[in-house]
Structure 1
Amino acid sequence: MNFYQKEINRIRTVCYKNQEQLQTVIRTKKFIDVHFEKEMNLNLLSNCQFTSKFHLLRLFKKYYGLTPMQYLTDRRIEKAAEYLKKKMTVTETCFAVGFECTSSFSTLFKNKMGIAPAAFQKSNFRKVD
């Protein structure tokens, strides 16, 4: 093993010291990606990974820069935009991505996307037609 390989291995162990923690965070993200439309909370996520919810919260924020719930909201909004482009109604989209209330969905969508869901949908209909 030459000097550069040794140095790469040393840096890798410093940056990713605890592989188990990294795997926990990656599995949590994948779980959210697959089950984003289901009711989810920090207790459920931590139970799935057999870890403390506070520990999971810190780890997720450390590696992704967001809390798991912030990531879930972003994922739902991203998917909602796809559904709205496919001509689903705002109400259908709201429930399809896991929101329970159309008003909170509309508010979050507007905050994240800068435009209301109905306006987003109309602007995309014009582009497609």
Structure 2
Amino acid sequence: MKDSLSLENENYKKIEKVIRYIDENFKEQPKIDEIAQYIGMSKYHLIRVFKEYVGVTPIQFLQSITLNYAKEHLKESKSILDSSLDLGLSSSSRLHDLFVNIIGVTPKEYKELGKNVDIIYGYGSTPFGEALIGFTKRGVSYLGFIDDNKESIFNRFKEIWAKANLIRDDEKAKEYLNKIFVKKEKFDLYVKGTNFQINIWKALLNIPSGTITTYQDIANSINKPKAARAVASAIGSNHIGFLIPCHRVLAKSGAMSGYRWGIERKKILVAYEAMKSGNQKS
């Protein structure tokens, strides 16, 4: 009868083989049954053992590999459709399972400050304090955290969407916040900004939870290495907290400065995500 160390050693070799297989075949998006058959294990045993070693299931690992590839590939791709086909995904909409999708207002809506756009808004609790959320049929249009600045947060929301039809409904707002922070559902984000700002906010979505980066790194990622200050300004103008993770960007020195919703909250968000990320890896 084999001792536990021998069994662990065998399991490790199998997991190592699985990871190599996923690395080599992720473009084909293999199913869990295919992976299990390749390694000669039942899929349930494979999932259990893989999670013990890696911290996530094989399919979650596959999605992570795919996402990392997509982040790099999208920089060079002429279209999201090209990226989707190269990744072996069925259509461009499949990428939305991996990314939060940002929808910018039309030029006309931008010029008219959201005229004739219906925005439901309200207040509710989150794990990081009270928040004001606004949302339309096309997605979340505002999310701001509140301390002793409830009036100023609302005024900024109203300024951004100055000509929109603002409809207060705290119950619906609480339902939306519950879906975001408890159920972890993904949402389209309906944003108002310049093309440069929207490109920066999209770049922020590529920063994995539990990690941090710098303004300079973001500038480099959009091929504008001399635009670090402009990047910082665009990040500071983000009007959808948490979902567009501007809290993951620090000064080059590592200082936690420039967070619209409070430096303390930024520190908590960074620490919380780092802890969650560490738990997933352990």
Same fold (TM over 0.5): yes
C-alpha change, 1:56 and 1:94, in structure 2 (3 Å) is same
**1:50 counterpart = 2:40:** yes
Q: CA–CA distance in 1 between the matches of 2:62 and 2:13?
A: 18
**Matching residue's letter, 2:224:** K
Inter-partner Cα distance in structure 1 for 2:51 and 2:61: 10
The aligned residue for residue 58 of structure 2 is 68
Alignment of 1:26 with 2:41, yes or no, is no
CA–CA separation in structure 2 for the residues paired with 1:86 and 1:44: 31
Partner of 1:37: 27
Structure 1 segments unaligned to the other structure (5+ residues):
1-12
The structure 1 segments of at least 4 consecutive aligned residues displaced by more than 6 Å after TM superposition are 13-16
Distance apart, 1:110 and its partner CA? 2.1
How far 1:39 moved relative to its partner?
3.2
Asked if structure 1 preserves the Cα contact closer than 8 Å seen for 2:84 and 2:94, the reply is no
Q: Counterpart of 2:74?
A: 84
SS at match of 1:127: coil
Is this contact kept in 2: 1:16–1:22, CA < 8 A? no
Counterpart secondary structure, 1:78: helix
Residue 60 of structure 1 aligns to a residue whose secondary structure is helix
* Change over 3 Å in CA distance of 1:110–1:51 after alignment to 2: same
Number of residues paired by the alignment? 112
- Give the gaps of 5 or more residues in structure 2: 102-187, 190-198, 207-218, 227-282
Greater relative CO (CA pairs within 8 A, separation 6+): 1
- Shift of the 128–34 alpha-carbon distance from structure 1 to 2, 3 Å rule, reads farther
TM-score, L = length of structure 1: 0.72
Larger radius of gyration: 2
Question: Paired residue for 1:59, among 49, 52, 55?
Answer: 49
CA distance in 1 between partners of 2:36 and 2:78 (Å): 33
> Please, what TM-score do these two structures have when normalized by structure 2?
0.35
Shift of 1:86: 2.2
Following superposition, the deviation at residue 18 of structure 1 comes to 2.2
Change (3 A) 1:34 1:88: farther
Give the one of 69, 81, 92 matched to 1:102: 92
| Superposition CA RMSD, Å | 2.9
Q: Distance in 2 between matches of 1:42 and 1:79?
A: 20
Deviation at 1:98, TM superposition (A): 2.5
Q: Percent identity?
A: 24
Tell me how far 1:60 sits from its aligned partner.
0.7
- 8 Å CA contact 1:57–1:68 kept in 2: the answer is yes
1:50-81 CA-partner distances (Å, limit 9, x unpaired): 11111100011110100000111111010001
**Partner residue in 2 for 1:4:** none
- In structure 1, how many angstroms separate the alpha carbons of the residues matched to 2:5 and 2:224? 45
- Range that drifts further, 58-67 or 86-95: 86-95
Q: Which stretch shifts more, 52-61 or 16-25? A: 16-25
For 2:70, give the aligned amino acid: A
Task: Tell me by how many angstroms 1:104 deviates.
Answer: 2.5
**In the TM superposition, what is the alpha-carbon distance from 1:94 to its structure 2 partner?**
1.5
